[in-house]
Structure 1
Amino acid sequence: MKVCRKKSIAAVVVLLTMMILAACGTDKGKDSGDKASNTKEDKPKFISIVTGGTGGTYYPLGGSFAKIISDETGIQTNAEVSGASAENMKLLDNEEAELAFSQTDIAAYAIEGKLMFESSKITNVQAIGTLYPETIQIVTTKKSGIKSVADLKNKKVSVGAPGSGTVANAEQILEVHGMTFADIQKQDLSFDESTAGLQDGTIDAAFVTAGTPTGAVESLAATEDVVIIPIEQDKIEALIKKYPYYTTDEVASGVYGLEEKVKTVAVQAMLVVRSDLSEAVVYDITKAIFENTNQVTHAKGKLIMAEKALNGVGIQVHPGAQKYFDEKGIKAE
């Protein structure tokens, strides 16, 4: 009886052990399956790039980028109209888009919680890389008679769409000229609205921060004699000293029918991404864009190159983008 009882107990122990091992194996398999499922979910089926107004440079570039990403990664990508830089940073923060165009200065303000982001610091955005200089163009027409920044006083001047980086540029340029928005009749218009206003005479001048040539200004030049108001060298130096993310730039002769080049300043356009996108996905996106710039239809495509993408970024680079640049041996100059 004792022997039989011992054998029964032993059998029960073996059976329990097998059940426990089987359960562990099932759990392990379940964990593996979950991880595999999560890996698949790391690659989204659809992403959005928020750009700017249809009359600027971001929107057509965004269309080219969306096609490149869709073709090269298999992720269906759409370019969407927006209020540009500042709004774009907030759209990423609210998880309403995955990629965005932004000026380097505005991206830095967002991450640091300065100026328009004092009450809404952005914490979930990182850089893919810089793209090209964004020229600050103070646009008017010959018939306005405006020839200098000082001439803008008491005039109706568009400073860009609400939430755009152009607004900050306008404010800072006026500042180094001893002026504020109170010295002008400020209008908050998109690039298309600004050039329409210049054409029909409802405004006198407009700040446009975008790669040149800018579509909206080109359209204006088709019917009006466009004037780009120059910024004098001493004011450029004062601006760069206080706000070092600016660089000296110019609008070339021939652009918009200009007879001579016009001295001005620029910030950099950059592509930013939500930091919660996986390293693998952002690596693929970065590679797709910088290895297919020949497919960018806008003239600015010629200026977009991986070798310069880390220059002037100003915020943390996403690990996926950094992996790509490391593989290419690219560092900031």
Structure 2
Amino acid sequence: MKRNRISLLFVLMLALSMVLAACGGGNEDVSGNGGESNEGGNKNLSLLTGGTGGTYYPLGGQIGKIISDNTDVNITPQTSGASAENMETLRAGEAELAFSQTDIGAYAIEGKEMFEGDPIDNIQAIASLYPETVQLVTTADSGIKSVEDLKGKSVSVGAPGSGAYINAMQLLEIHGLTVDDIKAQNLSFDESTDGIQSGTIDAAFVTAGTPTGAVEALSAQNDVVIVPLADDKIQSLIEKFPYYSEDTVSSGTYNIKSDVRTVAVKAMLVVSKDLDENLVYEMTKALYENTDKITHAKGEFIKPETALEGLGDMELHPGAAKYFEEKGISE
């Protein structure tokens, strides 16, 4: 009798385990490739941003929170080396979303510049976000008033592989200079402004939304100068590299006393094309229907009406395209 009770208990336990296994099978990931689901069924995705001294990182935190609060996705923003590094990380399948400059996105899919001969084919766009201003930063004490004045000076041209580095090379070229004409330093934005503060470098190229955190910190203790670009140089740059547009750093930014003419590229949000269409649709909708919750200064530029500007040849992810089609927005 005791043996029969043990056998019956075994059969019941086996049946229960099979039922639980069958129920657990309903929690498998059906959202497409990339990311993992947590115990609550939400999908965990990584958003690559940039360094802490730029715009991508703080803005990425706010965008990540909006998407996490309004969808079944948990977004984790991550610091990074910014645009070019972000593209390579997406290529490797080690993240799902990323910030990038539109020019770097173009190089990635075309296999040019830092991606020479090795195009990336697993990325698509969600949207362009805001202008990323090319800022040549120095101080009043440096005496630098034009790009030509950089000759012989110690200048940060951006972290290796960054969008700022390519922008710096192109601006130097338009002004008849090369990297050999300056004492180039490959520094992040924070390192650049620290170097200007300490006197170890004279100027720095910073491509980021204004106001940029690292430059703001510098302006708290120094008379910051944003070096202007001449109109003819701006036009020459745009003619040769059409992803640039005219831009202005407004008076009052960094305590400067008058507007400064310069150029900008666009910041964009890029996604792995393997992500499920409905998932990307829900993320795009969450972002653009909650922009009022973005407190960063660049939030005012993030709106559906301008979301398709400057994307160039990069394809929209079908999920993002579905949202913009519903809103009646096309390129």
Same structural fold, with TM-score higher than 0.5 when normalized by the shorter chain? yes
Q: CA deviation at 1:297?
A: 2.1
Whole-Å separation in 2 of the counterparts to 1:242 and 1:67: 39
1:105-141 per-position Cα deviation (integer Å, ceiling 9, x unaligned): 0000000000110143111000000001000000000
> Which AA in structure 1 matches 2:222?
E
After superposition, where does 1:1-333 map in structure 2 within 5 Å? 37=28, 39=30, 44=36, 45-314=43-312, 315-332=314-331
1:42-79 per-position Cα deviation (integer Å, ceiling 9, x unaligned): 68421010001100000001100111111111211111
User: SS in structure 2 opposite 1:39?
Assistant: coil
Whole-Å separation in 2 of the counterparts to 1:140 and 1:249: 18
Q: CA deviation at 1:39?
A: 2.7
Unaligned runs of 5+ in 1: 1-32
Whole-Å separation in 2 of the counterparts to 1:257 and 1:284: 40
Equivalent pair of 2:97/2:270 in contact (CA under 8 Å) = yes
Q: Alignment length, in residue pairs? A: 300
Equivalent pair of 2:248/2:262 in contact (CA under 8 Å) = yes
User: SS in structure 2 opposite 1:331?
Assistant: coil
Whole-Å separation in 2 of the counterparts to 1:189 and 1:204: 13
> For the aligned residues, what is the CA RMSD?
1.6
Q: CA deviation at 1:249?
A: 0.5
Unaligned runs of 5+ in 2: 1-23, 37-42
Aligned residue number for residue 5 of structure 2: none
Over 3 Å counting, the alpha-carbon distance change for 1:182 and 1:93 in structure 2 is same
> Which AA in structure 1 matches 2:319?
G
Q: Which is higher, the Rg of structure 1 or of structure 2? A: 1
Q: TM-score w.r.t. structure 1 length? A: 0.87
Aligned residue number for residue 22 of structure 1: none
Going by fraction, where is helix more abundant, 1 or 2?
Answer: 1
Q: CA deviation at 1:177?
A: 0.4
Aligned residue number for residue 20 of structure 1: none
Whole-Å separation in 2 of the counterparts to 1:55 and 1:133: 17
> Which AA in structure 2 matches 1:52?
G
Q: CA deviation at 1:294?
A: 1.2
Aligned residue number for residue 20 of structure 2: none
Whole-Å separation in 2 of the counterparts to 1:79 and 1:139: 27
> Which AA in structure 1 matches 2:327?
K
Whole-Å separation in 2 of the counterparts to 1:184 and 1:293: 42
Over 3 Å counting, the alpha-carbon distance change for 1:41 and 1:127 in structure 2 is closer
User: Any runs of at least 4 consecutive aligned residues in structure 1 with deviations exceeding 6 A, and if so which?
Assistant: 33-36
Aligned residue number for residue 29 of structure 1: none
Whole-Å separation in 2 of the counterparts to 1:257 and 1:97: 38
Whole-Å separation in 1 of the counterparts to 2:277 and 2:27: 16
Equivalent pair of 2:139/2:223 in contact (CA under 8 Å) = yes
User: SS in structure 2 opposite 1:134?
Assistant: strand
Whole-Å separation in 2 of the counterparts to 1:277 and 1:41: 5
Whole-Å separation in 1 of the counterparts to 2:166 and 2:25: 47
Over 3 Å counting, the alpha-carbon distance change for 1:277 and 1:167 in structure 2 is same
1:149-191 per-position Cα deviation (integer Å, ceiling 9, x unaligned): 0000111100111111000000000000011111111100000
Whole-Å separation in 1 of the counterparts to 2:163 and 2:230: 22
User: SS in structure 1 opposite 2:57?
Assistant: helix
Q: TM-score w.r.t. structure 2 length? A: 0.88
Over 3 Å counting, the alpha-carbon distance change for 1:277 and 1:41 in structure 2 is closer
Over 3 Å counting, the alpha-carbon distance change for 1:269 and 1:41 in structure 2 is closer
Over 3 Å counting, the alpha-carbon distance change for 1:40 and 1:184 in structure 2 is closer
User: SS in structure 2 opposite 1:213?
Assistant: coil
